Structures are given as C-alpha cells and as structure tokens.
Amino acid sequence: MRPIPFDGIAMGCDYNPEQWPPPVWREDVALMREAGVGFVTLGVFSWALLEPEPGRYDFDWLDEVLGLLHEGGIAVDMATATASPPPWLTTAHPEVLPVDAAGRTLWPGSRQSWCPSSPLFRKHALRLVEQLARRYGSHPAVRLWHVSNELGCHVGKCWCDVSAAAFRRWLATRYGTVEALNEAWGTSFWSQRYGSFDEVLPPRLTPAIPNPTHELDFARFSSDELLGYYRAERDLLRELSPDVPVTTNLMVTSHQSEQDYFSWAADLDLVAQDHYLDARLPHPYAEQAFCADLTRGVAGGAPWLLMESAPSAVNWQPVNRAKRPGELLLDSLRHVARGADAVGFFQWRASLAGAEKFHSALVPHAGPDSARFREVSALGDALRRLGEVAGSRVRADVALLHDWEAEWACDLGSHPSSQVRYLDAGLRWHRAVTELGATADVVHPSADLSAYRLVIVPTLYLCSDATAAALEAYVRGGGHVLVTYFSGIVDENDHIRPGGYPGAFRELLGVRTEEFAPLLPGEFVSLDDGSTADTWTELLTVTDAEVVARYADGPLPGTPALTRRAVGAGTAWYLATWLDETATAELADRLTREAGVVRLGPGGGVEVVRRGRYLFVLNRGPVAAVVRAHGVDLLSGRDVAESVIVSGGCAAVVRQDEA
C-alpha cells in the first residue's frame, strides 16, 4: 500500500462546486482554510456537466475550481466522475441500465444506474476518464485518483442478458468444463444438470429455492465484475497519470457486503473507506470500530483513508439523528485510532436541492456561523496536532476472522435457522473483546496468525481445508482459538463436510455434532454455569475435549454447549450456542485472560487503542477515565507522567516515551 498522499492526518470532504455559482467557490476555499480542510474529493457526480453531449466536454469550470483549490493549498482527490451516467447516455442506450432478479429495469432519475458488465457503459466511461487523466493527470493539486464512487452501492449485481453472458464466461474460466460446474453446483438435485454453459442464467427469480452454489458463484462473479471495472479505469489512469496513486472508496460496513474487498486489495494503491454511523443498530460505535478494524485488515495493517463519514445527520436513515456536541471528535478519532491517516466527510456545503439536502455537511444550511461549523473547525485543529501519528501501525493481540465468501454462503436461504446471520457473530465478539480494553485485527482466514495471542472464528460456515489446517497449526504452536457454532460446515462449493459437524474443525476441537437444534424466536436456554443463550443449540458430544458448560434446559438438557481442548501448546474452544451479551463478555474475559491478551484500558465506554507509540484514549462515558500512560498528550499539549485523565466525552492521544 502507498502512503495516504495528504499532509499529516488531514481533514477532507466531498466537494460538489457544480451545485453552486462561482462566487461561492472563492468563499468555499477561504472557509476550507479556516476550518483546516486539507483535501477535497472533487467531481464525483459531475459527468453530465463535464460531457453535456456525447464527445463534447466542458472543463472550464473544473479548471477554475482546481486552480482556486491549488492556490488555497488544498489537495485534490480527483474523481473520475463516472459514478452516474448522464441522461443522454441512458436515453440513447437503455441497454446500459441494470436489471434486477425479477427482470425489472432500474431506471435513471436517481444515481449509479448502470450495469457493471456493460461494454457500452465502460466505453463511454473510459472515454471520459481519458479526457480527465490527460487534462489533470499532472496537475499539481491532484494527489489521488478516485475511481467511480462506492462501486456496488445501489447496483452491486445485475441480472440482464449482457451480465448473463459475462457470468457464463466467468464460469467457463472458473470450471473449464460444464461437467465440473455440474459437480460443483450439485446439479443432480432437482433436475438442474446443464448440457453446456450456454444454458446457464444468472440466478433470476425462481418459483422455489434457488441452487445455493449458483447463488454463491453469482456473488463471486459480481464482486469480480466490479473489480474488473475498477481495473479498467485504474489501468488507464496509471498509463496517463503514472505518478498519482489510484483508489476507490470501499464500503466496509455491516449493511453492505456484496464485494469481497480482500480480493480487491492488491489492485488498490491505498485503501479508502466510507463509513456512516447507523443509528438503527443496537451498538453503532461498536459497528464503527469493527468496520475500521476490518478496513485495516483489508489494507494488510497499513494506514488507510477515511474518505467519507457524516459530520452529523445521515438523511438516508429513517430518523436523521444529529451528533451531540463532542461526538464528532470522538467518532473521527475512532477511525484514526484504528489506522485512518485522514478523515473525510460527505460533504462540504449542505445542498439546497436534491435527494440529500437534509444530509449534514461541514457547512450546514445555517452557514458558517453555526455550532456545527465551529465544531468542524475544532476537529480540523485537533487533527492538525496529530500529524506525527500518520504512518504508524495499530498493535493488536487478537485476530477475528472475517470472510465475505463465508458471509454470502452463510446468509443464503433454506438453512437450519434464518436467525443466524454471519455478521452478528463477528460484531458481537469484536465488541466483547474491545469493550474489555483489548484491540482486535479483523483479518481474512488466510492471514498470518502467528503473532496473535487469541484468534476468534465467528460462524465461519464456509471454509477451506487450508484454513482448517492453518488454525490447527496455529493452536499446536501455542495459540488460543475460539470457534463459534455453524462453522466449518461446508467447503468452497457449499457442499456439506460429512461425518458430523463442525466438519472442518471437528478434530481440532475434539467434538462431534449429530444434529442441529436451533431455537425458535423468543426461546431461550440456560447453561449450567448460569449464562443465558438463544437462537442455537446442537446435539454435541465430546470426542476429546473438556466440557466447560452444558445446556441446563431447552431441547437438549445435559448436552455440552462450551468445550475446551488442549492441543499441542495451545487451546481450542468451541461454543455451540449464541450466548447473550453478558455471557459473551464473561467468556471473552476468560479467554483473553488465559491467552494473555493485553488490555490497555478499563474497557466499557473507554476505548483505548495503540498505534505505534501513540495511545488513543476515547472516553464515551460520562465520568472521567484514568489510563496508564507516560509522555505528552498531543491534543492538549500537556505532559502525562503516570496516567492520563480523560473527562467524559473527551479524548487524549498520548505520544508515549517508550515504544
């Protein structure tokens, strides 16, 4: 990964000057300087203005804006402007529009209405990219290229005939022969055997349950297809603007999981991420922390760029919750603590018209004479003080495995319980660990695990033999691992691993399950250690493990629910139920203690993360927190002798004397 190409820990934002008359642009640049804006993302949705008719371009306004920004010392993340096609393109060529699984066209009138496999869309988009790259590829203000926007947002999959043909080509490459496809998809079932690739369609709306491997492969194909699109723009940019790094803004978030970003990472010059706090979630800050740790995992541990977040309200949620005073700083530092080397926002000035006019902005409708703008300026000042943190790396003792393919497969229909959602387990276990004051990396199952004291494997329904072997080697070498229920069930083709669950991990864990016994919504079960669980139980026997807790009631009283096996120099735990939050926290406490995981803070609402020699302390709670540290608090400039005292709702970033 290349370093984030802005100075220090920069504050930035999406800038959409096309929504405003030119006199406002000058005021914008002056206000950006006042607030401490170091970079802007420019032109994301400006195709229709830049190319008002096919092949006729108007760059004059953009030249002027770039000039003003450059004069103002503001770096530019230059968008390729291809995110939303102009009406002339979709009118002349409606075949570029995406089609859903029921065969319905998704019409223009909103944004991002294009089929990822359309060669015609790509041709027109690349023509614009070429113009932009030639014109601005060596402009001194341009430090980064921003391909499209949130590829896959709104349209991550398309079921049209063009996509169908692309899917068949992808399958032919993956399988070579149609016999191999039939084998992988288990098409002997329900008379689905294909005679040739030409007979295969995308998984369109069917009368009954679709073939799950067909669906899984379509998810893989769709992720690859958008990556292919990204590569096409990237290659052109590299050719015409070789000195400027290229990226696109990912959406590592719990409500969007259609791209396997681990497989995208090698093609990104740096990882950029968009994250919006979701007030609908039970624990929005925990989800934010999880996504930040996962973004760092995608970046292979390298610093990353928070491209977009919300300064306050998010209009696409049912209730547009405003950030409370002080929240902006803590939310932004949560990203920085977890590896972000810049903090971007959507957007600079709140729009007066259009679908996002009620989305918050750095300059609200009220104007710069507002508490929001003053808080933004204070954030700009705080980030400026943290400049020296840039480039440092987060240190974590715990790894939590995450795999988008496992998520896609786990969340397909017709499973033992629709209550089991892949991400729920990852989020709950990540929160349990971080609330203890420990730090977790969220990494792919193929990551090198050797440096971690504890590895958590939440609901890894689909897993390869290689993953199972790597975990076994990790434990034998002295590692501690926790596997939670519905893991290791199927191989990469979504075929059951027979002989008893949890298939791939049966031997490592020393257990064997004959039958699942999921619970109905509202049903609970008690364990004999006093904890409470719901959603899941299973008929588990131990073959070579110690029983730590059993179900005390429910469908399987007396059956093991939590087991532990000493393996080589390490320990392998299996949790066969869905513990409630309190019991999860207690188990996390025990596991982290036994594994010797370092806790940097008191936990709870006090988030403590270490980046290189910098200790971030974010106190979400109402009362002051005391955390051991020695050095200088970069935010206040005060010396810290033994410990730093952080008032409720405040933060400290201590440059520690010793690394």
Question: Which residues of this protein are in contact with ligand GAL, per CB under 6 A?
Answer: 149-150, 153, 274, 276, 308, 310, 314, 346, 356, 359
Closest distance of CB 118 from ligand GAL, Å: 21
Closest distance of CB 432 from ligand GAL, Å: 29
User: SS in 3 state form for 266-277?
Assistant: HHCCCCEEECCC
CB nearer to ligand GAL: give 351 or 643. Answer: 351
CB nearer to ligand GAL: give 357 or 374. Answer: 357
CB nearer to ligand GAL: give 317 or 417. Answer: 317
Closest distance of CB 153 from ligand GAL, Å: 6
433 and 456 Cβ atoms separated by less than 8 Å: yes
Marked catalytic residue, from 258, 287, 308, 607: 308
CB nearer to ligand GAL: give 292 or 314. Answer: 314
CA proximity to 144, closest of 58, 248, 215: 248
Q: List residues bridging with 456 in a β-sheet.
A: 400, 482
CB nearer to ligand GAL: give 347 or 535. Answer: 347
Strand order across the 532-534 sheet: 524-526, 532-534, 578-579
Helix (H, G, I), strand (E, B) or coil at 230: helix
308 has catalytic annotation: yes
Interatomic CA distance for residues 165 and 453, integer angstroms: 47
Closest distance of CB 331 from ligand GAL, Å: 14
Strands 304-308 and 340-345: parallel
CB nearer to ligand GAL: give 12 or 603. Answer: 12
Closest distance of CB 45 from ligand GAL, Å: 7
298 and 271 Cβ atoms separated by less than 8 Å: yes
How much is the CA Rg of the chain, to the nearest whole Å? 26
The pair phi, psi for residue 442, each rounded to 5°, is -105, 110
Closest distance of CB 276 from ligand GAL, Å: 5
Closest distance of CB 48 from ligand GAL, Å: 15
CB nearer to ligand GAL: give 153 or 172. Answer: 153
Alpha helices, DSSP H only, in 501-625?
A: 506-509, 581-595
Continuous segment of H or E residues that includes residue 616: strand 614-619
Closest distance of CB 423 from ligand GAL, Å: 19
Closest distance of CB 357 from ligand GAL, Å: 11
DSSP 493-537: TS-B--SSBSGGGHHHHTEEEEEE-PPPTT-EEEBTTS-EEES--
Query: Chain centroid to CA 288: how far?
Result: 9
Closest distance of CB 77 from ligand GAL, Å: 13
Amino acid identity, position 586: E
Alpha helices, DSSP H only, in 243-341?
A: 261-264, 284-298, 327-337
Handedness of CA 88, 91, 95, 98 (dihedral sign): positive
Of the CA atoms within 13 Å of residue 37, those in its CB half-sphere come to: 35
Closest distance of CB 112 from ligand GAL, Å: 9
Q: List residues bridging with 274 in a β-sheet.
A: 308
103 and 204 Cβ atoms separated by less than 8 Å: yes
Q: Which residue lies nearest ligand GAL, judged by its C-beta? A: 346
Q: Which residues contact residue 624 at a Cβ distance below 8 angstroms, ignoring those fewer than 6 apart?
A: 645, 646, 647, 648
CB nearer to ligand GAL: give 372 or 428. Answer: 372
Interatomic CA distance for residues 606 and 351, integer angstroms: 36
Q: List residues bridging with 632 in a β-sheet.
A: 639, 655
Amino acid identity, position 53: E
Q: List residues bridging with 544 in a β-sheet.
A: none
Give ∠ CA 68-70-72 in degrees, rounded to 5.
70
Interatomic CA distance for residues 616 and 633, integer angstroms: 9
CB nearer to ligand GAL: give 170 or 230. Answer: 230
Question: Which DSSP state fits 209?
Answer: P
CB nearer to ligand GAL: give 356 or 388. Answer: 356
Cα separation values, 439 from 22, 89, 251, 290, 455, Å: 47, 48, 22, 10, 12
Cα separation values, 67 from 17, 43, 71, 74, 88, Å: 13, 14, 6, 10, 29
Here the tokens at position 628 are 């051991």
Handedness of CA 580, 582, 585, 590 (dihedral sign): negative
Strands 625-628 and 643-646: antiparallel
CB nearer to ligand GAL: give 284 or 300. Answer: 284
CB nearer to ligand GAL: give 222 or 248. Answer: 248
Closest distance of CB 328 from ligand GAL, Å: 15
Interatomic CA distance for residues 454 and 591, integer angstroms: 8
Marked catalytic residue, from 51, 150, 215, 225: 150
Annotated catalytic residues are 150, 308
